[in-house]
Amino acid sequence: MKLKTILILLVALVAAVALVLLRNKNDADGINKAVGSKIFPSLVTEEVSTIVLNGGKEEVTLEIKDGKWTVKGRDGFPANQDNIAKLVTKVGTMLISDVKEDVNEKYLSRFKLQKPGNGGKDDETGTAVTLKKADGTVVADFTVGKNIPGAMTPGSFSNSQAQYIATASAAGQVLTIKEAFDYYMNNVTNKAWLDTSTFFKVEKPKAVSVTSAKPEDNWTLLREKEGTDAAELKLADPKPGEEFDTAKAGNSGGAFSTVTFADVATADVKDKTGLDQPLRTATIETFDGFKYTIKIGKPVEKTVDPNAGASEEYYVTVDVEASLAEKMPEPVPTPEDAKKSEEEKKTAREAAEKAFAENLTKLKEKLAKEKALTGRTYIIAKFNVEPLLKNRADLMKDKPAAPAAGGGESNPAAPPGAPAPSPGPVSATTPPVSIEIPPGDQVKPAIEPKPAEPKPAKELPLPAAPEKKEQPPK
């Protein structure tokens, strides 16, 4: 074999080895630069157990605990499972639609692809995303950058947008994906990933009691029958002179029926919550046998804008227990029951027992879910807890205004500069008034007017006679 042929074969072999090594490196990095291919082709979504998001101002760590995703920055509170599933699926399936090569690092800010912590401005810094396996192996590491406005989608209220991506293992490359990540990638906060779909829900309230540091502000509302509206609410132990107003008490009687929470407080703010001496402690009992104990602490201080003062949110804890009837109560006989056959009565009883058993199962499931939420301190908007912040006097009818001194109605004082109110029509007898008129100016009336006949009327002070004018000297 000639030397030239041997050299050609060696060169071909070296090229093949280099190609294999390069391909293996790309596979190891999970990067494939070809347009239309996956960015992370080797990612297996089921193997992802940790996600770290860093938007520059706040870092979010999502991790699997006991088979469910949790938010580490909120002491392991359950995370929004659906949003996490969408994120992991998105990372594993996103395709490259364009590649920009040899992009200088100092120009990454134009694409909003500066990594958090590199000193870039908000409009230059992207969101860093890292996905890991249970053993800590990184399976995806990239930065999400600027959205690229696209054409208006027919029938849509928003633009379809592409987005810039930069992977950690492909320096100098800026990739484009056709469909941008959801909004939460551009606003990375721990509370945005909390599962708020399940929370305490008071149903069929029977009694609502509220206590505070001032006994005179305490109150208890009662319902005698299940399913009655606010008009049937009653005030327990009314005091002399109190007139209970059901309209004012309506939302208090149905408190915590549709409450949501804004965030979960962490253990390190325990001393700031004021829950050791709560503003209000409410106890709510239901016709189903549930009992809720709700404590409302201090308002949450704003940290974003210190000049804004206290926010409209409160620290709140909720505890729940239940005493559930395991046996269906005997139905009260009705006149219609006497007309039914034994077979009809048997069928009706079986249906009632089945409905009772199904409802009991639902109540036990509800209790288990709500029990799992206890032991936490929640941050709840003021309008959600305001019905329980009312004082006793706030539930009473407004008292009529006290009459003015003297027993009669008095006109309200006019504001400064306003004309005095004109008095109503007044009838009075005025005596004749003599006025001297200079000679030559006297005019005798054609008909001598008769003096007015006096009429009974309210006596008024007589007007003063006009002063006599002095005659000028002739």
Q: Are 103 and 234 in the same domain?
A: no
Per-residue pLDDT tens digits for 263-306: 999 999 999 999 999 999 999 999 999 999 999 999 998 755 55
Asked if 299 and 239 count as a contact pair (C-beta separation under 8 A), the reply is no
Q: What is the pLDDT of residue 119?
A: 80
Range of the domain at 77: 32-193
Residues in CB range of 205: below 8 A, 6 or more apart: 223, 253, 254, 255, 257, 284, 285, 286, 287
**3-class secondary structure, 382:** helix
Residue 221 in tokens? 């509302």
Q: Are 169 and 300 in the same domain?
A: no
Confidence of residue 400 (pLDDT cuts 50, 70, 90): confident
448 located within any domain: no
444 located within any domain: no
- 144-153, 266-275, 387-396, 426-435: which range is least confident on average? 426-435
Q: Are 131 and 226 in the same domain?
A: no
Q: Are 230 and 105 in the same domain?
A: no
**pTM of the prediction?**
0.73
**3-class secondary structure, 377:** strand
- 352-356, 402-406, 440-444: which range is least confident on average? 440-444
Number of domains in the chain: 2
Q: How far apart are CA 355 and CA 474, in angstroms?
A: 119
Of 193, 224, 244, the last residue of a domain is: 193
Question: What average pLDDT does the chain have?
Answer: 82
72 located within any domain: yes
Instruction: Say whether pLDDT at 422 is over 50.
Output: yes
Asked if 70 and 76 count as a contact pair (C-beta separation under 8 A), the reply is yes
Residue listed under structure tokens 């007139």: 243
Q: Are 232 and 258 in the same domain?
A: yes
User: What residue spans of 30-69 are helical by DSSP H?
Assistant: none
Question: Higher pLDDT residue, 243 or 9?
Answer: 243
Q: Are 37 and 170 in the same domain?
A: yes
Q: What is the pLDDT of residue 439?
A: 47
Which is it for the CA torsion 400, 401, 407, 411, positive or negative?
negative
Asked if 107 and 113 count as a contact pair (C-beta separation under 8 A), the reply is no
Q: Are 221 and 187 in the same domain?
A: no
214 located within any domain: yes
Q: What is the pLDDT of residue 130?
A: 97
Helix (H) or strand (E) holding 95: none
Question: Higher pLDDT residue, 7 or 152?
Answer: 7
Q: Are 42 and 170 in the same domain?
A: yes
Q: Give the mean pLDDT of 353-375.
A: 96
Residue 193 in tokens? 């990933």
Residue 203 in tokens? 């149903």
Q: Are 110 and 232 in the same domain?
A: no
Residue listed under structure tokens 């192996």: 137
Question: Higher pLDDT residue, 9 or 69?
Answer: 69
Per-residue pLDDT tens digits for 148-202: 876 444 444 444 588 999 998 888 899 999 888 876 676 799 999 999 999 999 9
Per-residue pLDDT tens digits for 102-152: 888 888 999 999 999 888 888 889 999 999 999 999 999 999 999 887 644
- 1-5, 14-18, 303-307: which range is least confident on average? 303-307
**Percent of the chain whose predicted confidence (pLDDT) is above 90:** 55
464 located within any domain: no
Instruction: Say whether pLDDT at 23 is over 90.
Output: no
Q: Give the mean pLDDT of 82-88.
A: 93
Which amino acid would we find at residue 384?
A: N
Q: What is the pLDDT of residue 13?
A: 72
